[in-house]
Amino acid sequence: MSHNTFGHLFRVTTFGESHGVALGCVVDGCPPGLPLEAEEIQAELDRRKPGQSRFTTQRREPDQVKILSGVFGDDRTGGRQLTTGTPIALVIENTDQRSKDYSEIRDSYRPGHADYAYDAKYGIRDYRGGGRSSARETAARVAAGAVARKVIPGVTIRAALVQMGPHAIDRARWDWDAVARNPFFCPDAEMARFYEGYLDGIRKDGSSIGAVIEVVAEGLPAGLGAPVYGKLDADLASAMMSINAVKGVEIGDGFASAALRGEDNADEMRSGNDGPAFLANHAGGILGGISTGQPVVVRFAVKPTSSILTPRRTVTRDGHDAEIVTKGRHDPCVGIRAVPVAEAMMACVLADHYLRHRGQVGTTP
């Protein structure tokens, strides 16, 4: 069962509510002997941290991570902390909780939010800041992802925002270096400049907007994944769809492949110096659920933030019609902060499949 656990050999169990005492995760199955310091995890968390520009929530959480277990170092390890193969517990305390901001949502269901669904399921919910359904949970994912990145050698995992609202980037201008230089994680510097004004407008309207994120893993060996329910793409689809507000996932050409003819879609091959080389990557690096050695390319759609200042019709917990305006500090485009989360989920899935493959087949692919 997997309510709050993700993965099999590399397993992440997260816990915590938006305004509870703390959130965090337990990473189980991490191989021993990998150097791991809190600072490295912190660096990833800082990329996701709110309040870094006017385009993300102004909630100010330091999001300071603490490693509770699973690492050890002494003079024999040169003072460095190494993973020991035992579970790594990571905790982030909640400090900026301002519960009063959220008192209204106690009684009225916010459209587009999980409020009603949680009540229908559990009959009780921690409504403060969305409780367990808050995107704040993704901080724990990012922390786990920082561990996962260490598991597979030689793989580069990067994500970027490639569309905001109806405005897709120009792929000809793709520049990975640009990603760190604008507040949108956008690889198209020109489009990023456009987004500034565009998102300012949306924010001032009290509205929000959707986005598309692309994640790419390069340097992955062929052979990860497995038929037929342990497919690498099936697990990636599950991983990305489990991120808050995600409504669609595609691999390689994705939905566009529906419109293609066979000869345009299937990636041809030629012999190369390091084994077979593909002449295109419509498949997004995965065939039959197994990696081919090409870059693994995943895209997903993030719906617009549901918390907006425009009044919306809803019902109250006890069944009366109402109107609701979700005040508080919200991301006008929640897709932006999904970028480091996407990398983390990709890292976790790949680490898991790497260990699974090594278990079953015995070689390091």
Q: Name the binding residues for NADP(+).
A: 48, 54
Q: What angle do CA 55, 39, 88 make, to 5 degrees?
A: 105
SS (H, E, C) 72-133: ECCHHHCCCCEECCCCEEEEEECCCCCHHHHHHHHCECCCCCCHHHHHHHHCCCCCHHHHHH
Closest to a second copy by CB, 134 or 182: 134
Q: Does 185 bind a second copy (CB under 8 A)?
A: no
DSSP SS3 for 359: helix
Which 223-282 positions form the footprint of a second copy (CB under 8 A)?
223-231, 233-242, 244, 247-271, 275-276, 279, 282
Q: Does 146 bind a second copy (CB under 8 A)?
A: no
Closest to a second copy by CB, 54 or 247: 247
Closest to 131 in 3D by CA, of 95, 104, 107, 99: 99
CB of 214 to a second copy, least distance (A): 12
* Window contacting a second copy (CB under 8 A); options: 44-52, 53-61, 186-194, 291-299: 291-299
Task: Compose the 88-127 pattern: x for residues touching a second copy by CB under 8 A, - for all others.
Answer: xx-x--------------x--xxxxxx-xxx-xxxxxxx-
The tokens for 205 are 């309207």
* Window contacting a second copy (CB under 8 A); options: 43-51, 57-65, 185-193, 303-311: 303-311
Q: Applying CB under 8 A, which of residues 96, 207, 295, 327 lies at the interface with a second copy?
A: 207
Q: Does 68 bind a second copy (CB under 8 A)?
A: yes
Q: What angle do CA 133, 137, 143 make, to 5 degrees?
A: 165
Scanning the structure block, which residue is given the tokens 């692919």? 365
Closest to 347 in 3D by CA, of 200, 240, 222: 240
Going by the DSSP 8-state scheme, the letter that residue 314 receives in this structure is E
Distance, CA of 109 to CA of 180 (rounded, Å): 37
Which 306-365 positions form the footprint of a second copy (CB under 8 A)?
306-308, 310, 312-315, 319-321, 335, 355-362, 364-365
Distance, CA of 161 to CA of 199 (rounded, Å): 14
Q: Applying CB under 8 A, which of residues 36, 41, 45, 82 lies at the interface with a second copy?
A: 82
Q: Does 31 bind a second copy (CB under 8 A)?
A: yes
- Residues within the annotated binding site for FMN? 132-134, 244-245, 288, 303-307, 329
CB of 229 to a second copy, least distance (A): 4
Closest to 312 in 3D by CA, of 57, 109, 127: 109
Scanning the structure block, which residue is given the tokens 């959707």? 210
Closest to a second copy by CB, 180 or 270: 270
Q: Applying CB under 8 A, which of residues 148, 179, 186, 209 lies at the interface with a second copy?
A: 209
Contact at 8 Å (CB) between 32 and 12?
no
Q: Does 87 bind a second copy (CB under 8 A)?
A: yes
Closest to a second copy by CB, 177 or 259: 259
Q: Does 189 bind a second copy (CB under 8 A)?
A: no
What does the chain come to in residues? 365
Q: Does 222 bind a second copy (CB under 8 A)?
A: yes
CB of 205 to a second copy, least distance (A): 8
Sign of CA dihedral 280, 283, 287, 289: positive
* Window contacting a second copy (CB under 8 A); options: 42-50, 54-62, 65-73, 177-185: 65-73
